[in-house]
Amino acid sequence: MPVQIGRAGEYGHNNSEKAFVDSNFVRGGVRVVANDAGLTGLTSVSDQLKEYVTIVYHEADSKLYLLVDSSNIATKATGWTDLGDLMGTGSGIENVHEDASPQLGGNLDVFYDGTTRSIVNSNSGSDIQFTPTGTGKINLDGLVEFKRFDHTASPPEAFEGGMYADTADNLYFGVT
């Protein structure tokens, strides 16, 4: 392995793309400490630590910490940050269907790429319900199409709230 010797105890690859190491650790790389004393005690090797590069696994907390301020290595609260907080791990949802009452903060824009999009319920036979609050209305702005049937045949059986159109554009409302 081609090795380049720097200062005593320091070694590096002839390939500058490879990691620069000392006899104990990769410079700026991941380290393991048992507790807060080990974390803040890293001041003794501060020349080997790099802000926003050095990650330390804290065994007592079972967390990874990222060095964010090399002038405060000895102060956990200001020198280090929980890497999980930065990455958002362990919180939130992974799938929209996990949220029992999702809310949109704006309009829902259904991207049209030449393919018709639908609002569907994947549970067979289940309803899709639109319920405005208070005196709110459901506004259908644009062409509204109904399931059609041949007007020369008998219409489908009526059911409460059902709406149909025949092929002659007559509308039928099922009221029971």
Structural domains of the chain sorted by starting position, each given as residue range(s) with its CATH number in brackets:
3-86 (3.40.1620.70), 138-176 (no CATH)
Q: Say if residues 162 and 147 touch (Cβ distance below 8 Å).
A: no
Q: Say if residues 74 and 43 touch (Cβ distance below 8 Å).
A: yes
For 29, 127, 135, the CA distances from 131, given in Å and listed in that order, are 55, 12, 10
In the predicted model, is pLDDT for residue 5 greater than 70? Answer: no
How confident is the model over 94-105, as a mean pLDDT? Answer: 74
pLDDT at 1: 45
In the predicted model, is pLDDT for residue 133 greater than 50? Answer: yes
Structure tokens at 17: 């793309």
Q: Residue 111: what are its φ and ψ, rounded to 5°?
A: -60, 130
Q: By mean pLDDT, which of 87-96, 107-116, 150-159 is the weakest?
A: 87-96
Q: What percent of the chain has pLDDT over 90?
A: 1
In the predicted model, is pLDDT for residue 11 greater than 70? Answer: no
How confident is the model over 18-24, as a mean pLDDT? Answer: 47
How confident is the model over 138-145, as a mean pLDDT? Answer: 78
How confident is the model over 44-50, as a mean pLDDT? Answer: 81
pLDDT at 22: 45
- Sheet of strand 31-33, all strands in order from the earlier edge strand to the far edge: 31-33, 55-58, 63-67, 80-82
In the predicted model, is pLDDT for residue 136 greater than 70? Answer: yes
Average pLDDT over the chain, rounded to whole? 74
